[in-house]
Amino acid sequence: MERMKFDSQGTLVGVDGSLIKESDRGKGIRKRDRYNGNNWNNGDNGENDEHGEYKSEKLKRSEDLEFLKEEGEEKVGIEEEKRTEDIFEKSYWNLFSGKEALAPLKFSNGKTQEDVVKEIVSLIENGKKIIFLHGTCGTGKSAIALNIARVLGSASIVVPVKALQKQYEEDYMGNKWLNMDSKRKMKIAMITGRDNHDSLFFPGKSCADPSLPENIKITEKNYEKIKEYYEENPLIRNKVNVDMDRIRRMSIAPANPYWSPILPADFEAKQFHDATKRRYKGCDGKDYVFYHRKRGCSYYDQYLSYLMADVNIFNSAKYLAEINIGRKPETEVEIIDEADDFLDSLFIQEEINLTRLKAALKLIFPESKSAKDVIDEIISLIDLEEKNKRALGIDEDAIFKISDTKISKVLKLLNSNQELKAEIALDELNYSNRVLTVAEDFLRVIDEVYLSYRKDEDDNLYSKIVSTNLKSKIDELISKSKAIVFMSGTLHSPEVLKRVFKISDYETVEAETLNFGNVEIIRTGKEFDCKYTNFSNGSKTREDYLTALNSCVERAKLPLLVHVNAFQDLPSDEDKMSFEVNSLMSNEKLKEIQKEDKTGRAVSIFKQGLSDSLFTTKCSRGVDFPGDVCKSMIFTKYPNPNMQDTFWKVLMKTHSDYFWDFYKDKARREFLQRLYRALRSMDDHVYILSPDLRVLEAVQGLQKQNGEI
């Protein structure tokens, strides 16, 4: 099969290394074949794809980091800018496409993008610390965000997923650009994980490769390789025989000349005599030092952006990790895209693999006895938990206060010893690094933390830890920020912001408030209220539900997007045979497809018209299907949160006063986000189908609100 390459929007840009002309894209490629429940009928049924012929984006190298382009290139750009008739450049707006200055968009409420930027900047300059920007699709929130950053001088921009990082990169680091002060272009940097970058130590492998000196497990089975790295370490002048009990990450990681850690300035690291020490102020107000050794590896070189870039763009997971340890650079404003999803994620919920943590700690070798004693005690506590669960068994529905378990002491011990924390920080890929971050999160609210247990098929013991106390997390975010702009088309209700998130001192700025496009309901006559009690009391059966869902797929106009709320909404392979619902994909098949599809291939193929149906649990946000890309959309059920999840159980137990307000608000926002995937302009139209009557009633409510019925 030919190798296809897509950009972050799912546009086919190349086949077998050859670029596709804009005029050729989409010609004669949509096959009008309906999904048959097993395959997409797109010619070869995907048979030639099974060995991974689809290639993801190439690994990054240092020359791909735009903010590091040489000054000479910047000067050429400045001369070109001077020849551009910059008629639209004003203090609050600046955006170019090539040599053309782009005017700000005007919204249905009479405001422009420039007005919105001015309003937000004015609020910040007058001391307002929290601002919510309400803007539906068509607002151009990314351009607004960058102009806020341009006026204020620097920003951290946070997006929920890596695909949206890539969208910023493609939109504003190529043909489109902004001037900071009419003298140079804005420097924008993407902060991405190790697996996105090419390791120059092992060219062609990613910086997450487990055999790299900074990643390799310190175990006896790796003795020969560890000995080799120790001998190659240029920071140790007087080598001795390798003793595995005394090997630390610092003993071998420097064998990779590109390895360049970031450490607190008060941490003594005199051994880095081959590094350029670059000091900057972190978001926690403390100084950090980037020990930049050999230049050339894009993973480590990207952290130069902490000192050099005007805007750093993070995915939310990376942002929260950097905020938590305090080393995210101080900026004038934090701008959070898809803000309601971000705020929901602040409810602290983490799952720890205790068995894996025990194994990981055995690979940490601190020098001091006190640090070693802490490791031994943690391992002993986990051993006791494992023995207890083997003896008594596990009730996965049971909820415990963390103070009634050994896990409370495990987290406290892990966070108690500075040398141990420093050793863990150096061993970035060791699992204990992640658990240390979890510990730091939960210890702030340890009196309001709950957990549940489970085991997997390999007998690993897990603990899901939950706290519904948001005040400390919000307070931390505010204390580590100068100002925060939360942007979304589906903001939380004011009541939820006040009662759940304890946010009351804020301003809301309205951008585009009109919901674009039109929705039309197609009924099958088999719809019913799919609430849990209708199944539990026997008035409706699983066969009733699957038959209704199957009818929706059969009546839908193609192309079809199926929003799968939960895997169990789809039939098992056995159900398909028993109930003859052959238009549906089985839940086993969807799990398999999504597990193997690490690059978003299925979405890209659907957007390019190579498939007429897309069943997915992953397209609630961040992926758009405008125009003819999606003519029908099926909701398997109204997107109420899963009441069996530990988080919702704990929230009901601890905050019954506002539980239902938040639960309903969450469902409403998720419903709107999924619906708006296909409504991106005034001309868009989509048919809605669902076996769940609640979905159709919600659509009718929107139609009434918009004056359509």
CATH number at residue 629: 3.40.50.300
701 and 585, same structural domain?
Answer: yes
Residues in the chain with pLDDT < 70? 1-57, 70-90, 182, 599, 707-709
pLDDT at 451: 94
Contact assessment for residue 428 and residue 213, using Cβ atoms and an 8 Å cutoff: no
* Any domain includes 611: yes
User: 363 exposed, middle or buried (CB, 10 Å; 0-12, 13-18, 19+)?
Assistant: middle
| DSSP secondary structure string for all residues of 292-336 | E-SS--HHHHGGGHHHH-SEEEEEHHHHHHHHHHT-SBP-SEEEE
664 and 523, same structural domain?
Answer: yes
pLDDT at 237: 84
432 and 537, same structural domain?
Answer: no
Domain count, the chain: 2
642 and 526, same structural domain?
Answer: yes
pLDDT at 84: 43
539 and 663, same structural domain?
Answer: yes
pLDDT at 4: 43
Domain final residue, candidates 450, 467, 484: 467
666 and 595, same structural domain?
Answer: yes
654 and 536, same structural domain?
Answer: yes
Residue 626 belongs to domain spanning: 518-705
* Any domain includes 8: no
677 and 549, same structural domain?
Answer: yes
User: What CA–CA distance (Å, rounded) separates 276 from 274?
Assistant: 7
* Any domain includes 180: no
Task: Take residue 516 and report the two structure tokens written for it.
Answer: 């674009």
pLDDT at 707: 67
Domain final residue, candidates 408, 434, 467: 467
List, in order, residues 6 or more apart from 92 with CB less than 8 Å away: 114, 117, 118, 121, 147, 151
User: End-to-end distance of the chain based on CA atoms, in angstroms?
Assistant: 49
542 and 433, same structural domain?
Answer: no
Domain final residue, candidates 438, 467, 496: 467
523 and 463, same structural domain?
Answer: no
486's enclosing H/E stretch is: strand 484-488
Sheet containing 287-292: give its strands across: 262-264, 287-292, 276-281
* Any domain includes 459: yes
660 and 527, same structural domain?
Answer: yes
Q: How many CB atoms lie within 10 A of CB 437?
A: 16
pLDDT at 5: 44
pLDDT at 552: 99
* Any domain includes 592: yes
* Any domain includes 594: yes
* Any domain includes 506: no
- Angle, CA of 360, 365 and 369, to the nearest 5°: 120
Predicted TM-score of the model (pTM): 0.77
601 and 532, same structural domain?
Answer: yes
* Any domain includes 690: yes
